[in-house]
Amino acid sequence: MQKNTDLHLHSCFSMATSPDMVPEHILAGCRIKGIDVIGSGDALHPEWRKMWEPYVDNEFGITVIPQTEVEDSSRVHHVILAETFDQFAELQDMFEPVCGHLTTAGRPHLQLGGEEIATAVHDVGGMIGPAHAFTPWTSLFAAFTSPSECYGEETFEFCELGLSADSTYGAGIAEFADVPFLTNSDAHSPTPIKLGREFTRMDLSTDSPKSVLAGISSGNIILNAGFFPEEGKYNRTACTRCYQQFSLAEAEHFHWKCPHDNGRIKLGVRERAEKLSTLAEPTQRPPYLKMIPLGEVIARVLGTASPNTKKCKELYNRFVETFDNEIAVLLEIPKQDLCSVSCEVADAVIKMREGQVTLFPGGGGKYGSFAF
């Protein structure tokens, strides 16, 4: 069976996260978006685990995978997955001596290196991989030049690409040759604009947590879907103050200081990936389908400033009520059927599917944009 999975999000206990990030709202948002398997987020937090207990079996039939994100002593972020919340209770006990805020912070900082964290995760039967591996802050490649420098003798089971990268960015890196790529939302809000904005479609024997983890281990990934990488806020090398973009040669010439305002020039994900790629023949990967959230497509078509206007929400709801969920609208429903709701939006969706989008790349912390 084919299932859409989003295995990285956060709870109301994480910083800069909506207070609406509670199980019932997350599940409702996933139902509207078309996500079948969701990461719980913040599973090291004991109160958050309790909040999920009544919702593991839920009315929507959505599978909940116990999951968290942690920061290590090098400020590298890792996604951890497990089959049960009891495994995270074990990890909480193991990590409490090296973290004073496990019971208060959703995304904790651990005074351990990546290898030590991976050892603990594997000891309880869990899985680990770098979160948003290419971003210039709090990521694997912000701190290291290779995964083995971070994980040492320990293995890692997957790599999360992040919003500024697609599969091609990692396909030339030798240590990723046999590692599956995951695309996840890292959502801090339960709205469909955020949930499932990147997702991984997997071929699973069942929809149980055990089957999902086994599917990752076996590389049973059919499709990665997510942003056009240029929309990510760190895709291009740019000043973090004024967002002026630079080529790699220009950044090096200016010694990574912006000549306009003396701000810091931050290496972009695109250029970082190019520097890290050493394989003469990049590894073959499942298709990566580039998409834009339906709310943003509608806002652009209607010429409104935000997908949250009444007019946009009404049209969005008509599409979802007619075609069941947002992902179906974005990726699968034929144009003539979409026209039964709005031909203008249908035209934009087809252009998105075919890559007929004008992109204005982001960089330095400023998101990119698009036009049809």
pLDDT at 46 over 90: yes
Cα 170 to Cα 176: distance, rounded to the nearest angstrom:
7
> Mean pLDDT over all residues of the chain?
96
pTM: 0.95
What residues are paired with 224 via a beta bridge?
Answer: 200, 288
Rounded percentage of the chain residues whose pLDDT exceeds 70: 100
pLDDT at 137 over 90: no
Cα 318 to Cα 256: distance, rounded to the nearest angstrom:
48
pLDDT in tens, 51-80: 999 999 999 999 999 999 999 999 999 999
What's 124's DSSP letter?
A: T
| Across 314-321, average pLDDT | 98
Cα 26 to Cα 19: distance, rounded to the nearest angstrom:
11
pLDDT at 256 over 90: yes
pLDDT at 267: 94
**Hunting for tokens 């955020």 — which residue is that?**
194
pLDDT at 170 over 90: yes
Domains and CATH numbers, the chain: 2-229 (3.20.20.140), 293-360 (no CATH)
Cα 118 to Cα 138: distance, rounded to the nearest angstrom:
17
Q: Which of 306, 294, 139, 134 is nearest to 229 (CA)?
A: 134
- The strand ranges marked E within the chain are 2-6, 37-39, 63-65, 67-71, 77-81, 127-130, 159-160, 181-182, 199-203, 221-226, 238-239, 265-266, 288-290, 358-360, 369-371
| Across 331-341, average pLDDT | 98
| Across 121-131, average pLDDT | 98
For β-strands 159-160 and 181-182, DSSP reports them as parallel
pLDDT at 212: 98
* Banded pLDDT at 136 (limits 50, 70, 90): confident
**Hunting for tokens 């090398």 — which residue is that?**
237
Cα 291 to Cα 330: distance, rounded to the nearest angstrom:
7
Handedness of CA 316, 318, 321, 322 (dihedral sign): negative
Cα 225–Cα 125–Cα 17 angle in degrees, nearest 5: 50
